[in-house]
């Protein structure tokens, strides 16, 4: 047998004399993945891998798991090391040139806050989740793929923390994202999404995150933030975005391969996988409500509207994907038509809710400028002027009389997605809030939609345990009974919240960029 290429490093005379034949990529990959696994003998395989069967997924042949990139570990470290060097060189230059002052205006930073508070911790959660899934899948190809993704995601969390730490020196709301992620009400939306996936079985986890999240929805999550950063002069964020993008394309490809692998292994897997696609589409879509408002309201220079993004990335591209999957028996996710109907309303309703509760967030909100309202009217001709503009104009008039509206109550949360019950019945009456209920063991639970109710009804024992921030506040578990008790407990400082007009961010920005020339001594 030829000596494998990776032994060539050994400095023995024999190998120096006759250089062995270079292995093909495929051979190297097989040696560096499939050959690394073994059948256990001291303990039965079922005891070593106790979690890859209870979901009902049947795998007959793990060899069918194909990594389309055939990436070996040595090549992986080399590529990633190169990317790190480039990224950190650019971040250095960014900091030395005080390039944080090149963003459009200080309102933009709030999009970055939302990303750092709500998305960066998901990168870390993904790292933990893939490490866990890799441990629990018995196929070696799948384990190597999970290992690489676990490392990728850890790198994403770290590069984001390193990049954004520079903004933390100048702006509010960026100082304690790990406490905020665990405690702030709106961040329980992304947190519970990922914890739901991590506490499922390993096949559901990879279907949820690799397929549902990375493949179907990533263009609607990651891309709007990165193109938003590019449009608004935030080159630091664009750079970590680019650095993560080549990992991202690997993750997306993997997501599709996983679903095809499961469907090719056994016909009994089809209904299980379809159920997961339905569930994770809906959970992912609800999470995107935060992105919708970011796109339409938080970017001083807008890339495209949420409605346009939904049409391109879900209705068109997603439609083609599901046409392709039809030969496996997979259909479009349940309630996709509801999501499409909501596209004219989603961002306005979400932003209005954040506007109501800005005193309990670690970011600022504001009423759109007149030219921004006109942009919204043009992008949403059927909905904005009719349902939302009057509301914003009314709030604007209150603010001008020094009576800026903050909602003093606490909203009811959906038991599944944990978003306040803010979504309306856009089909028949867009002014009426949708409210669904289920009774489980004598207790009533509330949902924002049929999609969320379905998820609960399928596994009630799981979702009755959900940590709902509002319910926890009422039970006295969040630092005390006053607003300041609760926000202190969340590590939110006074400068982090409130209307942008009164914020330190705005005052500082104007001072630094001389936009308020004359107002400062
Ligand atoms: Fe990532
Ligand atoms: Zn919900």
Ligand 2 centroid distance, CA of 281 (Å): 12
Ligand 2 centroid distance, CA of 413 (Å): 8
Ligand 2 centroid distance, CA of 287 (Å): 9
Indicate whether 8 pLDDT > 80: no
Residue in this structure with the two tokens 């230059």, named with its chain if needed: 93
Ligand nearest to the CA of 120: 1
Q: Which residues surround ligand 2, an ion (CB under 5 A)?
A: 414, 416-417, 448, 452
Ligand nearest to the CA of 119: 1
Average pLDDT over residues 155-179: 96
Ligand nearest to the CA of 247: 1
Ligand 2 centroid distance, CA of 183 (Å): 19
Ligand 1 centroid distance, CA of 144 (Å): 17
Indicate whether 70 pLDDT > 90: no
pLDDT digits (tens, 9 = 90+) for 345-404: 999 999 999 999 999 999 999 999 999 999 999 999 999 999 999 999 999 999 999 999
Ligand 2 centroid distance, CA of 196 (Å): 13
**HEC per residue, 100-135:** HHHCCCCCCHHHHHHHHHHCHHHHHHHHHHHHHHHH
Ligand 1 centroid distance, CA of 80 (Å): 13
Q: What's the CA gap between 279 and 352, in Å, rounded?
A: 27
Ligand nearest to the CA of 209: 1
Ligand 1 centroid distance, CA of 267 (Å): 32
Average pLDDT over residues 452-468: 98
Ligand 1 centroid distance, CA of 393 (Å): 39
Indicate whether 1 pLDDT > 80: no
Ligand 2 centroid distance, CA of 166 (Å): 35
Phi (first) and psi of residue 420, to 5 degrees: -50, 150
Ligand 1 centroid distance, CA of 123 (Å): 5
Average pLDDT over residues 152-156: 96
Confidence of residue 514 (pLDDT cuts 50, 70, 90): confident
Ligand 1 centroid distance, CA of 161 (Å): 13
Residue 107, CA distances (Å) to 172, 366, 449, 478, 510 in order: 11, 9, 32, 29, 12
Share of the chain above pLDDT 90, in %: 81
* Residues in CB range of 340: below 8 A, 6 or more apart: 310, 314, 315
Are 453 and 378 spatial neighbours (Cβ–Cβ below 8 Å)? Answer: no
Q: Residue length, the chain?
A: 521
pLDDT digits (tens, 9 = 90+) for 233-255: 999 999 988 888 889 888 988 88
Ligand 2 centroid distance, CA of 449 (Å): 6
Ligand nearest to the CA of 251: 1
Ligand nearest to the CA of 218: 1
Ligand nearest to the CA of 450: 2
Ligand nearest to the CA of 249: 1
Q: Copy the structure tokens of residue 447.
A: 């949902």
* pLDDT value for 219: 85
Q: Rounded to two decimals, what is the model's pTM?
A: 0.92
Ligand 1 centroid distance, CA of 162 (Å): 15
Q: What's the CA gap between 272 and 261, in Å, rounded?
A: 13
Ligand 2 centroid distance, CA of 213 (Å): 17
Helix%, strand%, coil% for the chain, nearest 5: 65, 5, 30
Ligand 1 centroid distance, CA of 167 (Å): 21
Average pLDDT over residues 11-21: 59
Phi (first) and psi of residue 433, to 5 degrees: -70, 140
Ligand nearest to the CA of 412: 2
Q: Please state the domain extents for the chain.
A: 71-520
CATH architecture designation of domain 71-520 = Orthogonal Bundle (1.10)
pLDDT digits (tens, 9 = 90+) for 262-278: 999 999 999 999 999 99
pLDDT digits (tens, 9 = 90+) for 112-131: 999 999 999 999 999 999 99
Ligand 2 centroid distance, CA of 416 (Å): 5
pLDDT digits (tens, 9 = 90+) for 24-67: 878 888 887 777 888 899 999 999 999 999 999 999 999 888 77
- Mean per-residue pLDDT over the chain, rounded: 92
Q: What's the CA gap between 158 and 507, in Å, rounded?
A: 30
Indicate whether 18 pLDDT > 80: no
Ligand 1 centroid distance, CA of 125 (Å): 10
More confident residue, 148 or 70: 148
**HEC per residue, 328-340:** HCCCCCCCHHHHH
pLDDT digits (tens, 9 = 90+) for 470-512: 999 999 999 999 999 999 999 999 999 999 999 999 999 999 9
* pLDDT value for 2: 47
Ligand 1 centroid distance, CA of 76 (Å): 16
Indicate whether 4 pLDDT > 50: no
Q: What is the enclosing helix (H) or strand (E) of 425?
A: strand 424-425
**HEC per residue, 197-246:** HHCCCHHHHHHHHHHHHHHHHHHHHHHHHHHHHHHCCCHHHHHHHHHHHH
């Amino acid at each position: 047998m030829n000596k494998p290429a990776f032994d060539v490093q050994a400095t023995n005379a024999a190998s120096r004399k006759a250089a062995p034949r270079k292995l093909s990529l495929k051979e190297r990959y097989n040696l560096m993945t499939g050959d690394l696994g073994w059948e256990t003998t001291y303990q039965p395989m079922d005891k070593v891998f106790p979690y890859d069967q209870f979901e009902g997924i049947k795998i007959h042949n793990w060899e069918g798991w194909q990594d389309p990139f055939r990436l070996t570990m040595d090549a992986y470290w080399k590529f990633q090391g190169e990317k790190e060097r480039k990224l950190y060189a650019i971040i250095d230059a960014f900091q030395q040139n005080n390039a944080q002052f090149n963003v459009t205006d200080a309102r933009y930073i709030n999009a970055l806050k939302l990303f750092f508070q709500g998305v960066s911790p998901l990168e870390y959660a993904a790292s933990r989740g893939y490490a866990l899934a890799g441990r629990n899948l018995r196929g070696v190809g799948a384990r190597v793929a999970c290992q690489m993704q676990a490392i990728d995601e850890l790198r994403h969390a770290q590069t984001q923390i390193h990049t954004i730490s520079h903004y933390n020196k100048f702006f509010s709301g960026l100082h304690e994202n790990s406490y905020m992620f665990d405690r702030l009400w709106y961040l329980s939306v992304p947190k519970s999404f990922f914890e739901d996936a991590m506490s499922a079985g390993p096949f559901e986890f990879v279907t949820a995150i690799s397929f549902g999240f990375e493949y179907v929805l990533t263009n609607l999550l990651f891309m709007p933030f990165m193109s938003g950063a590019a449009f608004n002069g935030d080159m630091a964020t664009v750079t970590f975005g680019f650095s993560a993008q080549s990992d991202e394309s690997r993750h997306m490809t993997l997501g599709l391969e996983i679903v095809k692998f499961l469907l090719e292994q056994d016909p009994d897997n089809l209904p299980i996988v379809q159920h997961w696609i339905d569930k994770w589409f809906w959970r992912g879509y609800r999470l995107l409500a935060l992105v919708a408002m970011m796109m339409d309201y938080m970017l001083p220079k807008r890339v495209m509207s949420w409605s346009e993004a939904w049409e391109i990335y879900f209705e068109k591209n997603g439609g083609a994907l599901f046409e392709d999957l039809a030969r496996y028996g997979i259909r479009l996710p349940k309630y996709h038509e509801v999501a499409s109907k909501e596209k004219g309303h989603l961002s306005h309703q979400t932003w209005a809710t954040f506007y109501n509760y800005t005193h309990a967030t670690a970011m600022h909100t504001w009423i759109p400028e007149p030219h921004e309202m006109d942009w919204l009217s043009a992008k949403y001709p059927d909905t904005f002027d009719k349902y939302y503009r009057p509301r914003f104009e009314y709030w604007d008039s209150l603010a001008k009389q020094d009576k800026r509206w903050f909602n003093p109550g606490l909203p009811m949360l959906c038991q599944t997605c944990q978003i306040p019950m803010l979504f309306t019945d856009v089909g028949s009456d867009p002014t009426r809030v949708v409210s669904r209920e289920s009774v489980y063991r004598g207790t009533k639970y509330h949902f924002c939609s049929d999609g969320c109710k379905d998820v609960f009804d399928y596994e009630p024992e799981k979702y009755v345990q959900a940590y709902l921030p509002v319910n926890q506040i009422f039970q006295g578990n969040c630092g005390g009974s006053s607003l300041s008790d609760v926000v202190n407990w969340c590590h939110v400082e006074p400068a982090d919240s409130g209307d942008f007009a009164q914020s330190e961010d705005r005052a500082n920005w104007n001072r630094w960029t001389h936009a308020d020339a004359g107002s400062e001594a």
